[in-house]
Amino acid sequence: MFMENHKIFNTLVEHMPVGVYVLDENWIIQYVNPAFEELFGRAASSFLGYHPIELNEYIRPEDWQRFLSFLIGAVEKDLSIMEYCIARKDGVFIYVRDLLHTVRDEFGEVLFYQGMIEDISRYRQVEQKLVQSRYSYQMLVNSMQEGYALMQVISTDKDSCDFLFMDVNPMFEQNIGLQREEIVGRRLERERFRLEDEWLELLNTVARTGQAVSYEGYVSYLDRYLQVFAFQPDEGLVAALIVDVTRRKQVELAMQEEKEWLAVTLKSIGEGVIATDVDNRVIFLNDAASEILGWSEEAAIGKSLIDILRATQEQSSSQEQEYTQHDFPEISDQSFTIVRNGQRRFIFNNASYIHDNSGEIKGMVMVLRDVTDRHQAQQEIHYLSFHDTLTGLHNRAYVDQVLPDFDDERLLPLSMILADLNGLKLTNDVFGHQAGDQLLVRLADIIRSSCRQEDVVARWGGDEFLIILPRTPYHAAEEVCERIREKCRQADRDPIEISCAMGVATRNTLQQDIATLFSSAEDRMYTSKLEESEQADQIILQGIIDTLNQRFYYRQDHCNRLQELALKMTAALQLDLKQKQHLLDLVLYHDIGHIILPPEYIHQGEYLTAEEWEKYKKHAEAGYRIASCMATLRPIADLILSHHEHWDGSGYPRGLAGEEIPFVVRIFSVLDAYDIMTRDTFAKPAMSSQEALYQIRVGAGKKFDPYVVRAFLNLEK
């Protein structure tokens, strides 16, 4: 039976797919099976009778020391296992796994050593590929710019799941702010990893449904924006890719902020801004554009820009066609008008098309500006450049521009009138420049109303006016002058009677030079002014006197009484003819300066306020200026200025005293005071002659010259 079993065992060993070998107690190889021979590629004779140490040529040199330790291990532990590399006869190295077992008797003595050796090259190759694959996987994962985490789902219920970190890459560590050893092998805890609620919900969704989901949000504790993409690579696993999108998000937010800032800016600027898409439909309209066009943003959005402009714009057909073209050059510096609230408004626009990178039109931006005020200002500037601002007549620049147009035979005879306003200096000096301006305006109106529409009427200089009369002979021009004179005579004397000196010249042929024509009219005007100057002064002076007599009913009687007293005093004091004439003229014109005063100032007398009194005292200076402007009164101008001076220097306006005051004025002061005291006024009743003489006597040496007082008192006796 034993022999039969032994035979079966040998048959089994002979057919085993792994190599089997037996060593005796002295480590001499006694048996190898066919699989062993096939493994080494050598016959059994190459091994039988040899000690394993003698087979070193069959073992890879770098494995030799380990092989010796393997043999010793079999003695010490009765079982030794080793993987090493052997050389086949054909020179090919293969990996083998060798298992050597020590067989002992019941006394522990070694009977023999039995070994089994098998080819594991294919497994080693697979293992190396797995290692290489894992290495490649790890290299790939570690080099990813996205954070990567692999988690195992360790529990699942209807409300939430639990996860265990299996692997993470460096970028995940950076995104989360924790080290690998703080993550791998640990459970996913919200507090530890400070995850947002949305993250946990995302992972739970993937674990429960197996569907990939993504989320992008702000992580407050990291102050970053992260994008998470979670999926299920295998059953029970969840993987997450995390991308730091902070820079992109910051750019987006910056762009959004810039867009909002731009929108706010565009809405708040004073110029209208309209943006359209490629189809010319409005996509943006700021408040200023709404105000300019009269369209609200809600009503305009989506509307065709052409329709909006057609509804408000009055433009030429060519301009409208230009707007409706799709691929025309960029619009700029266009103008149009609209009617809003019944008023015509002038609108300036500058528009540019927006192109993409390929040059295709994507839309248009139009900037609108209401330039009505500027247009009106330009119109006004244009008007003022050719018109006099005071009178509204054409000015010298206009005449210079149109004068060449009159070199036309059809306009002959051509007459020219040059007029010079009388009394302008007097009016300016006495009544102020505003009154002088009004005098110029009044004469301008008179001249304009005396001429035809086709005549050119211009203010030529300060007080000069030029009239150009086409197709007008000399006698007709003289008739125009007479019409002007008559209208001047009929005009109000406010503040003085208006009059002017005029000169006429006529051009009958083109051979006559226009410059010569003007020179002739100017010469005749100056000649007329010289001839009429005294008459003009008298007209103005008489106008002033008439006005004073109308305002102050007592004035004429006052002057008459003063004249009688003056004649007596001239005889008593034996004045020469010049002094006599000056005294008589002063009596008549001493109060000419009252023309500047309101009538109530004269009537109120001593009841004037301090401010009114200061204004009242200005009449002496006004009288002086009037007299200085007139040849007939110029000799007594200084006397008029001084007629309120007192002997003791308490008078006005210069505070003269004693003999600084002209002698004629000292005489007049006594006569004027006496007459005022002996007549009724609004302020007080008349004194008796005796009372008045007493006051004159008391005033001697104060208000009056004592010498003149004595002469006057003697005269009254």
Other C-beta atoms lying within 10 Å of the C-beta of residue 626: 28
Q: Say if residues 364 and 352 touch (Cβ distance below 8 Å).
A: yes
pLDDT at 186 (0 to 100): 82
Q: Say if residues 228 and 252 touch (Cβ distance below 8 Å).
A: no
pLDDT surpassing 90 at residue 276: no
Average of per-residue pLDDT across 221-241? 83
Q: Which two tokens stand for residue 195?
A: 């995850």
> Concatenated DSSP letters for 28-75?
-EEEE-HHHHHHHTS-GGGTTT--GGGGGGGB-GGGHHHHHHHHHHHH
pLDDT at 315 (0 to 100): 40
DSSP character at residue 687: P
State pLDDT tens for residues 570-602.
999 999 999 999 999 999 999 998 888 887 776
State pLDDT tens for residues 505-540.
999 999 999 999 999 999 999 998 888 777 777 878
Average of per-residue pLDDT across 3-29? 79
Q: Say if residues 267 and 274 touch (Cβ distance below 8 Å).
A: no
Query: Cα(457)–Cα(452) distance, rounded to whole angstroms?
Result: 9
pLDDT at 328 (0 to 100): 35
Average pLDDT value for the chain = 83
Q: Say if residues 716 and 708 touch (Cβ distance below 8 Å).
A: no
Residue closest to 636 by CA, chosen among 703, 499, 547, 541: 541
Average of per-residue pLDDT across 705-710? 95
pLDDT at 320 (0 to 100): 38
Average of per-residue pLDDT across 546-556? 84
Which of 384-393, 626-635, 676-685 is least confident? 676-685
Q: Say if residues 117 and 35 touch (Cβ distance below 8 Å).
A: no
Q: Which residue has the tokens 């008298």?
A: 538
For residue 78, give Cα distances in angstroms to 73, 81, 118.
7, 10, 19
SS3 705: coil
pLDDT surpassing 80 at residue 347: no
Q: Which two tokens stand for residue 713?
A: 């008192």
DSSP character at residue 151: E
Residue closest to 373 by CA, chosen among 316, 315, 292, 273: 292
pLDDT at 431 (0 to 100): 78
Residues 6 or more apart whose Cβ sits within 8 Å of residue 690:
none
State in Å, rounded, how far the first CA of the chain is from the last one: 205
pLDDT surpassing 90 at residue 184: no
For residue 336, give Cα distances in angstroms to 292, 317, 350, 449.
12, 12, 11, 38
Beta strands per DSSP E along 157-304 = 161-168, 213-219, 224-231, 237-244, 272-277, 282-285
Residue type, 652: Y
State pLDDT tens for residues 396-423.
999 999 999 999 999 999 999 999 999 8
Residue closest to 580 by CA, chosen among 559, 558, 563, 593: 563
Q: Which domains does the chain have, with CATH numbers?
A: 2-125 (3.30.450.20), 144-249 (3.30.450.20), 270-375 (3.30.450.20), 390-531 (3.30.70.270), 552-716 (1.10.3210.10)
Could you write out the three-class secondary structure of 584-629?
Answer: HHHHHHCCHHHHHCCHHHHHHHHHCCHHHHHHHCCHHHHHHHHHHC
Residue type, 656: L
Which of 105-114, 332-341, 428-437 is least confident? 332-341
* pLDDT-derived band at 568, boundaries 50, 70, 90: very high
Residue type, 556: Q
Q: Say if residues 370 and 346 touch (Cβ distance below 8 Å).
A: yes
Q: Which two tokens stand for residue 274?
A: 């309209």
Residues 6 or more apart whose Cβ sits within 8 Å of residue 449:
487
Q: Say if residues 641 and 620 touch (Cβ distance below 8 Å).
A: yes
Q: What percent of the chain has pLDDT above 90?
A: 34
> Concatenated DSSP letters for 294-363?
T--HHHHTTSBHHHHHHHHEE--HHHHHHHH-SSPPPP-SEEEEEEETTEEEEEEEEEEEEE-TTS-EEE
Query: Does 546 or 325 have the greater pLDDT score?
Result: 546
Query: Cα(44)–Cα(48) distance, rounded to whole angstroms?
Result: 6
pLDDT surpassing 50 at residue 2: no
Query: Cα(492)–Cα(438) distance, rounded to whole angstroms?
Result: 12
pLDDT surpassing 60 at residue 478: yes
State pLDDT tens for residues 632-688.
899 999 999 999 999 999 999 999 999 999 999 999 999 999 998 998 776 678 899
For residue 599, give Cα distances in angstroms to 313, 547, 614.
60, 11, 15
pLDDT at 363 (0 to 100): 82
Q: Which two tokens stand for residue 435?
A: 């009154």
Query: Does 363 or 139 have the greater pLDDT score?
Result: 363
Q: Which two tokens stand for residue 209?
A: 């449904």
Query: Cα(257)–Cα(699) distance, rounded to whole angstroms?
Result: 92
Query: Cα(308)–Cα(305) distance, rounded to whole angstroms?
Result: 5
Query: Does 609 or 268 have the greater pLDDT score?
Result: 609
Query: Cα(10)–Cα(632) distance, rounded to whole angstroms?
Result: 174
Residue closest to 626 by CA, chosen among 425, 464, 443, 491: 425
Other C-beta atoms lying within 10 Å of the C-beta of residue 591: 23
Q: Say if residues 48 and 66 touch (Cβ distance below 8 Å).
A: no
pLDDT surpassing 60 at residue 317: no
Q: Say if residues 409 and 508 touch (Cβ distance below 8 Å).
A: no
State pLDDT tens for residues 84-96.
999 888 888 889 9
Residue type, 531: E
Q: Which residue has the tokens 């007596």?
A: 568
pLDDT at 521 (0 to 100): 93
pLDDT at 211 (0 to 100): 87
Tell me the angle at which helices 577-589 and 663-677 cross, rounded to the nearest 10 degrees: 40
Query: Cα(646)–Cα(638) distance, rounded to whole angstroms?
Result: 15
DSSP character at residue 367: E
Query: Does 17 or 588 have the greater pLDDT score?
Result: 588
Query: Cα(388)–Cα(460) distance, rounded to whole angstroms?
Result: 9
Q: What percent of the chain has pLDDT above 70?
A: 89
Query: Cα(229)–Cα(240) distance, rounded to whole angstroms?
Result: 6
Query: Does 16 or 291 have the greater pLDDT score?
Result: 16
Q: Which residue has the tokens 């005098």?
A: 439
Q: Say if residues 289 and 308 touch (Cβ distance below 8 Å).
A: no
Query: Cα(515)–Cα(416) distance, rounded to whole angstroms?
Result: 11
Sign of torsion, CA 304 310 315 317?
A: positive
Q: Say if residues 325 and 306 touch (Cβ distance below 8 Å).
A: no
Tell me the angle at which helices 305-312 and 317-324 cross, rounded to the nearest 10 degrees: 160
Q: Active-site residue numbers?
A: 463
Q: Count of residues for the chain?
A: 717
Residues 6 or more apart whose Cβ sits within 8 Å of residue 656:
642, 645, 649
Q: Which residues pair with 711 in a beta bridge?
A: none
State pLDDT tens for residues 140-165.
777 777 788 888 888 766 667 788 88
pLDDT surpassing 70 at residue 437: yes
Q: Say if residues 219 and 187 touch (Cβ distance below 8 Å).
A: no
Q: Which two tokens stand for residue 554?
A: 């007592």
pLDDT at 7 (0 to 100): 63
Residues 6 or more apart whose Cβ sits within 8 Å of residue 310:
320
pLDDT at 318 (0 to 100): 38
Query: Does 316 or 53 have the greater pLDDT score?
Result: 53
pLDDT at 323 (0 to 100): 39
Helix and strand counts by DSSP (H, E) for the chain: 27, 20
pLDDT at 193 (0 to 100): 62
DSSP character at residue 496: S
Average of per-residue pLDDT across 490-494? 83
Residue closest to 426 by CA, chosen among 505, 523, 495, 491: 495
Q: Say if residues 276 and 259 touch (Cβ distance below 8 Å).
A: no
